[in-house]
Amino acid sequence: MSRNAWFETVAEAQRRAKDRLPAPVYGALIAGSEKGITLDDNIAAYSELGFAPRIADHHAERDLSTDVMGIPISLPVIISPTGVQAVHPEGEVAVARASANRGTIMGLSSFASKPVEDVLAANGNTLFQVYWSGSREEMVHRLERAKAAGAKGLIATLDWSFSHGRDWGSPQIPEKLTLGAALGFAPHALPRIPWLWSFAKTFRVPDLKAPNLKPKAGGEPPTFFGAYGEWMGTPPPSWDDVKWLRDQWDGPFMLKGIGRIDDAKRAIDIGATTISVSNHGGNNLDTIPAPIRMLPGIAEAVGDQIEIVLDGGVRRGSDVVKAVALGAKAVMIGRAYLWGLAANGQAGVENVLDIMRGGIDSALLGLGVGSLAELGREELYVPDDFERVR
């Protein structure tokens, strides 16, 4: 990677993504629900936690490795599944290659712009993500396709509800790139020549379809908004439905969106192997607390019975260390790697993962801790009013 393309922080990746992307595309990456209170708290909460470093007996080498859903990984950061990644022509395939090169897991959204088969070819340690959407027959078809492609585990996302608007406005993204839509989008795209050229030289426009939702009967896959409409039109699942979905998958199963102890216990009851403490990156109900606030109580209640990961607001390696110290096995990142992808493609995602690795290692060194397994609450100063437990 050239020095000019390299960036030192996720914040710099975000600045470059903002400069490179058309405003509506960048707006889709930073979107949150309603007033954005949850969106802001997801990040700000980490600043309320302080470290308690040691000044001697430091470890010359630190072990950052762990495992999630039975998959060994080189650092406790995995790729959270996100929808259509039109920030770069290679989209999810570039992210899969980057995560494979850095020794970690790829999470692939069922709303992704690249087929599950292509992504598994780039990273064999891929988890396939689904929503409760469509008929049971179609859901089984999607799971069978992912299983045939070699997916190592399933993520069932339940932490998403319809957002009724954002105070700063919702990004305008066309359902299909028709001539009229292209002309309407041109004022946003034309000033972003590098982004526009990255697609032009592939002779392809940004793909707004969801190929992993191709119907069992065949035909064209739905557009992203068609898939979104199917999800909105599907009655929400009961716990019996979630149990049925778990029974259709005979491997590791993550339930994403846990924010309450009673839901964590129900996840154990239905046979989930992993839970993700998450609020969908601030895109669920606004004013949900940051996941890092909900994590300690959930970890204390069920951490000895189920594997826990955290998803939300992670921007640096020290955030990861704080999450592990409070009971997470690892974290999932979303916006951070998308900004890297927008800034510099596959190399940008690798850059973000390297930033995370360096920050984790520095924090472990300063704390006098030799491995992730040694981290605990005693490494942190936790304010009395920090946690949120329900």
Residues marked as catalytic = 280
Distance between CA atoms of 158 and 115, rounded to whole angstroms? 22
Decide if 383 contacts 128 (C-beta within 8 A). no
Residue 231 to residue 134: CA distance in whole angstroms: 7
* Cα separation, 308 vs 295, whole angstroms: 9
Kind of pairing between the strands at 330-333 and 307-311: parallel
The radius of gyration of the chain from alpha carbons, rounded to an integer in Å, stands at 20
- Report the distance separating Cα 283 and Cα 298, nearest Å: 21
SS (H, E, C) the chain: CCCCCCCCCHHHHHHHHHHHCCHHHHHHHHCCCECCHHHHHHHHHHHCCEECCCCCCCCCCCECCEEECCEEECCCEEECCCCCCCCCCCHHHHHHHHHHHCCCCEEECCCCCCCHHHHHHHCCCEEEEECCCCCHHHHHHHHHHHHHHCCCEEEEECCCCCCCCECCCCCCCCCCCCHHHHHHHHHHHCCCHHHHHHHHCCCCCCCCECHHHCCCCCCCCCEHHHHHHHHHHCCCCCHHHHHHHHHCCCCCEEEEEECCHHHHHHHHHCCCCEEEEECHHHCCCCCCCCHHHHHHHHHHHHCCCCEEEEECCCCCHHHHHHHHHCCCCEEEECHHHHHHHHHHHHHHHHHHHHHHHHHHHHHHHHHCCCEHHHCCHHHEECCCCCCCCC
The dihedral region occupied by 369, where left means phi > 0, alpha psi between -120 and 50, and beta the remainder, is beta
